[in-house]
Amino acid sequence: MSLRVLIVDDEALARARLQTLLQDCVAPAAIVAGEAANAVQTMEALRRGGFDLVLMDIHMPGVDGMTLARTLRAMPQAPAVVFVTAHAEYAVQAFDLEAVDYLTKPVRLERLQAALEKAERFNEIHGNSPTGAGQEMITIQDRGRTQRVPLADVLYFKAELKYVTVRTAAKSYILDLSLGELELRYSQDFMRIHRNALVSRRAMRALEKHFDPEEGEGWAVRLQGVPELLAVSRRQLSAVREAMLN
C-alpha cells in the first residue's frame, strides 16, 4: 500500500522538490495527499485525517517544526514524522520527539526511500494505516509484544502446522487462530484458494500455471507485494477465475 504523505515546508520550491522525489520512490510508494506551509495549515490538514507520514521542515514562520512535532505526539494514531531540514544540529532533539528519520537538504532519493521504509514500519508497529481511523485491526502476539496489524495490509493467511502465518508486504506474523475462523470473519475481503490459504481479494494480480512438487501441475495466484506464488486447489479454481474477472 502507498503511504499518504503531508509535506510541510514554508518554501514552495522545497515542497515541489520533495513531491518530485516521492514520485520515484517504490516499496513503499508514496502519494502526496496534502501540503502545508506552516503549523496552522498542518493541524487543519491532520484534523481531516488520512495521513501516514508528515515530511516536516524545522524553521518555519510562527510555530516551528519541533514544537509542531511535540503537538503531534499527543494525537491519537499520530502519523510518522520525518524532519527534512537544512540544519543538521537538531537531530538529537528530533529523535527525542520520536521522529522516524532526519533528512538534511538537499535530500537524496535513496535517503528518502529509506525514510519511507522506516515510516511504514512505524505505522505497522503502532497500528496506524493510510486512513488508520476506523480500519479493522488484527491483534497479534509477537515475541511477547502485542501488535495491531491493519486488516487492509494483510495479503494472505496460510495454515502451517498448528498456526496461521499472516503475511503483509513488510513482514510475516504468527496467529493462533484457525483458517476456518478467519474465513468466517473476513470472507468479504479474503477468499479461500486452497485448504491451507486465504488471500486478499484486492491483492490478487494474476492466475498462473504452476508446478507444485507435492500436487504436480496446477495453478497458482500471484499477489501484489510478495514474490511467492500461492497454489490454487482444483476445487477452488473456478471461484478464483471468477474473482479475477470481477
Band (pLDDT 50/70/90 cuts) for residue 141 is confident
The strand ranges marked E within 45-110 are: 53-56, 80-85, 101-104
pLDDT bin (cut points 50, 70, 90) of residue 133 is very low
pLDDT, mean of residues 138-142? 78
CA distance 37 to 53: 16
pTM of the predicted model as reported, rounded to 2 decimal places:
0.54
For residues 166-178, average pLDDT: 88
Percent over 70 (pLDDT), the chain: 94
User: What grid cell was written down for 123?
Assistant: 505505522
Looking at residue 246, what is its pLDDT? 72
Phi and psi, residue 141, nearest 5°: -90, 115
Residue with cell 485448504: 195
Q: Are 9 and 39 spatial neighbours (Cβ–Cβ below 8 Å)?
A: no
What average pLDDT does the segment 148-174 reach? Answer: 89
What is the H or E stretch that residue 138 is in?
Answer: strand 137-142
Place of cell 486512513: 131
**The pLDDT of residue 128:** 64
For 63, 133, 179, the CA distances from 27, given in Å and listed in that order, are: 33, 23, 28
The pLDDT assigned to 135 comes to 60
Amino acid at the residue 174: I
Q: What grid cell was written down for 179?
A: 483458517
Instruction: Give whichever of 61-75, 174-188, 194-208 has the largest mean pLDDT.
Output: 194-208
Angular region, 77: left φ>0, alpha ψ -120 to 50, beta rest: left
* Average pLDDT over every residue of 114-140: 74
> What domains lie within the chain, and their CATH numbers?
3-125 (3.40.50.2300), 137-245 (2.40.50.1020)
The predicted model gives 217-222 an average pLDDT of 92
pLDDT tens column, 28-68: 888 898 999 999 999 988 888 779 999 999 999 999 999 99
Name the pLDDT band for 130 (thresholds 50, 70, 90).
very low
Q: With pLDDT > 90 as the criterion, what percentage of the chain qualifies? A: 54
Are 116 and 3 in contact, with CB atoms under 8 Å apart?
Answer: yes
